[in-house]
Structure 1
């Protein structure tokens, strides 16, 4: 049966030569098309210009003689070496953990820090963030320690020939001059905040230029200023800012300059670079910084009386408790309660000038009629006693009994620089003015 079937296939193939030829062609086509593939495989296996001959591999071992060190890597006197390590107190620190982190390992030091009357302040006043420095030797023995108890006091522990000693005193601060520049976008404080300038410096600038610039109403967007001020550092950490040394303020296109000068007697005052005093006999405002809520006018609608009435002073809006300063030397004429003023103070000054302060929340302790006050003395605090709808200071300025606008009246200048100081001031002023000019020029260049 199988032979019969095979015979039938052979007969069919023999009878159909066309089919046999087609299969033969197909086989050759597959062989030819496979040739490029073999070439690709060969190319992947053998890189060009690579010898396919057998390569003999051998191992060579060679002895290399190391050079002799000219000096020992470790000091022979290591026990005499010491170094400083600085750190900050952490929230969960104890005296033991802090000393361990500073690599202090001698028990004598730890015992002293725990038991000495002065040194015990370290363990009892571990405040997160405060800085500490320790000098130790290679054996972990404490040689010296400094800890910042507060901004004005530093604990120092030092090993002597007779043992450890502790003392507390003022830190030795480094004083540096800081140069900053800023541009007014909305307010003075917004500009100083953006330039990372402390508020105390902003207040000083407002006082320095107060006789030429009304910081309540005169500031404009685009006004610029440069300032040089003192900053005190303890081991690189800012402790406090001091006084403005020099400043330049451009307000509405006009530039004002100020240079601080300290006389040998310690008296501080501000002058123009040419030596003209910027101080006035009167401060323009008895408040450090505020805003005017109601100006001087002969016809104002009174919010309490509900009728038109002259307002012979200015109302300075400020929070209750804001300190009020005497704008000039004078004598207390009256202190007490009076009509719509509520708590009020009258000061009599030289030249026929009287100033009035109304709606106070309280008076300075011990203030009484007949007492002398000096310019800048605190005489009371802002409130809203009497006829007042909100906390503010009502401030009046009278010249020979006639009310004048406190914000516009001409203020007399203070005494000029004494002749014996002019040469020293000229050299001092030239140095600071050059720094201001350099900083101002660089600021303008960056804006361009």
Structure 2
């Protein structure tokens, strides 16, 4: 009889007890394994399930610490699943201050004072906050502002770091600036301003170019369709290509009615820049034609008109330049202030004498600049006030008058005087190199115009 048959027919009590013991041991071992293993790896799955944190915002060690704390005790202030700081872009509104910004994002009220101290320590004025600009804020899980990033002029950045308890530190990052020369040319179709905009010439370069030729050209009337301009200037950009600023103009030309005018910049031994024509003759310190930057003028007019306030027709001895309230007003030439004050009709106004022959008036100013008073000497282009609507005025504008021996003349129609002075001669090499660049640029524009004409025919 086989062992199996014996065992099935007559199992002994000892064997049965042994089998039961073995089964109990196996079951107990399984239970122990099941409930003991997690104790050795409880943290791993919880860390891996935590919300991701940008390691560019928080150091790696801080990320691990925050993740473990978030698992042990959930932060009641943070959003569900959020364990690290968040980044928000805040658009500055008119009237915003640091206190208002902190309040608008719900940050502690103690922060603005500490942030203001950091601004001051870094040499950044609180007035650097501009309406409409975007600043980047880092908000901690408890709602505090722990970092601020703000753009400053010339590509710089203000970086604020800290919190409302320990205070803030501010640093200003200065980018590496690369200077490169640019040659731009354009053909006038509708207006000079539109032609310059079409070839991406910055507004400050347009203003400087207008000032260079304004004694010889009235840009609103003299230029015709097909006239060509060229300008050589420096562009300042970061190493990443971000535009910072443009200028100064190194050379410029303006082709008007078949005649080309030139202006070549040269810095002499005295360290001062002067401009010369194509023959190397100094252009002189001419009067500016416009008392406002050209690109800020929205319209200009002068005629006998029905006065909107006095309700009668009267001569209008001046040019009215419409421009936004607060636009800087500049003197058109060197001179001496003979009046700076207020009258019922002219509002805030200034009169400047430019030698024995010429004088200019500036009326309806919003403000007269600090230091501008009777007897003070002023320089060509110096800001003397801002556009306003004081006196008998219905809207922001500058009334500008030009006098020759006490008689009013229209500055938009007459040739402007030039104050000549002795300067050293321009380097022939600089003169020729600048003329070559301008003429080559002019030729490219002409060829391009011819090609457009051929394709359109």
> TM-score per shorter chain, which class?
0.5 to 0.7
CA change 1:319–1:129 in 2 (3 A) is closer
CA change 1:129–1:186 in 2 (3 A) is farther
User: Which residue matches 2:77?
Assistant: none
Q: State the Cα distance separating 1:308 from its structure 2 match.
A: 3.2
TM, length-normalised to structure 1: 0.60
Q: State the Cα distance separating 1:265 from its structure 2 match.
A: 2.7
Residue 214 (1) aligns with residue 232 (2):
no
Which of 281, 288, 313 is the matching residue for 1:283? 288
User: Which residue matches 2:447?
Assistant: 445
Separation (CA, whole Å) in 2 of partners of 1:94 and 1:204: 50
Residue 176 (1) aligns with residue 183 (2):
no
Residue 408 (1) aligns with residue 413 (2):
yes
CA change 1:318–1:407 in 2 (3 A) is same
Q: State the Cα distance separating 1:186 from its structure 2 match.
A: 2.0
Unaligned runs of 5+ in 2: 1-51, 63-117, 123-132, 137-148, 159-170, 451-457
CA change 1:312–1:336 in 2 (3 A) is same
Residue 314 (1) aligns with residue 273 (2):
no
Residue 294 (1) aligns with residue 296 (2):
no
Separation (CA, whole Å) in 2 of partners of 1:220 and 1:275: 27
CA contact (8 A) 2:176 2:239 kept: no
User: Which residue matches 2:268?
Assistant: 263
Q: State the Cα distance separating 1:170 from its structure 2 match.
A: 5.0
Q: Please show how residues 104-143 of structure 1 align to structure 2 within 5 Å.
A: none
Residue 329 (1) aligns with residue 334 (2):
yes
CA contact (8 A) 1:286 1:326 kept: yes
Separation (CA, whole Å) in 2 of partners of 1:248 and 1:283: 18
Q: State the Cα distance separating 1:291 from its structure 2 match.
A: 5.2
Q: State the Cα distance separating 1:333 from its structure 2 match.
A: 1.1
Residue 97 (1) aligns with residue 102 (2):
no
Q: State the Cα distance separating 1:363 from its structure 2 match.
A: 0.8
Q: Deviations over 1:235-265 (max 9, x none)?
A: 1413221211111112343321111112233
CA contact (8 A) 2:135 2:151 kept: no
User: Which residue matches 1:383?
Assistant: 388
CA contact (8 A) 2:215 2:286 kept: no
Separation (CA, whole Å) in 1 of partners of 2:356 and 2:415: 13
Q: State the Cα distance separating 1:412 from its structure 2 match.
A: 2.7
Residue 189 (1) aligns with residue 183 (2):
no
CA contact (8 A) 2:188 2:195 kept: yes
Separation (CA, whole Å) in 2 of partners of 1:365 and 1:183: 42
Q: State the Cα distance separating 1:232 from its structure 2 match.
A: 1.6
| Count of matched residue positions in the alignment of Structure 1 and Structure 2 | 306
Q: Secondary structure at the match of 2:446?
A: helix
CA change 1:99–1:223 in 2 (3 A) is farther
Separation (CA, whole Å) in 2 of partners of 1:94 and 1:317: 54
Q: Deviations over 1:123-173 (max 9, x none)?
A: xxxx9999xxxxxxxxxxxxxxxx997535489xxxxxxxxxxx9775443
CA contact (8 A) 1:398 1:404 kept: yes
CA contact (8 A) 2:186 2:229 kept: yes
TM, length-normalised to structure 2: 0.59
Residue 303 (1) aligns with residue 308 (2):
yes
Q: State the Cα distance separating 1:404 from its structure 2 match.
A: 2.1
Separation (CA, whole Å) in 1 of partners of 2:135 and 2:366: 38
Q: State the Cα distance separating 1:210 from its structure 2 match.
A: 0.7
Q: State the Cα distance separating 1:411 from its structure 2 match.
A: 2.6
CA change 1:291–1:435 in 2 (3 A) is same
CA contact (8 A) 1:333 1:346 kept: yes
User: Which residue matches 1:7?
Assistant: none
Residue 199 (1) aligns with residue 206 (2):
no
User: Which residue matches 2:429?
Assistant: 427
Unaligned runs of 5+ in 1: 1-92, 108-116, 122-126, 131-146, 156-166
Separation (CA, whole Å) in 1 of partners of 2:231 and 2:53: 43
Q: Deviations over 1:22-73 (max 9, x none)?
A: xxxxxxxxxxxxxxxxxxxxxxxxxxxxxxxxxxxxxxxxxxxxxxxxxxxx
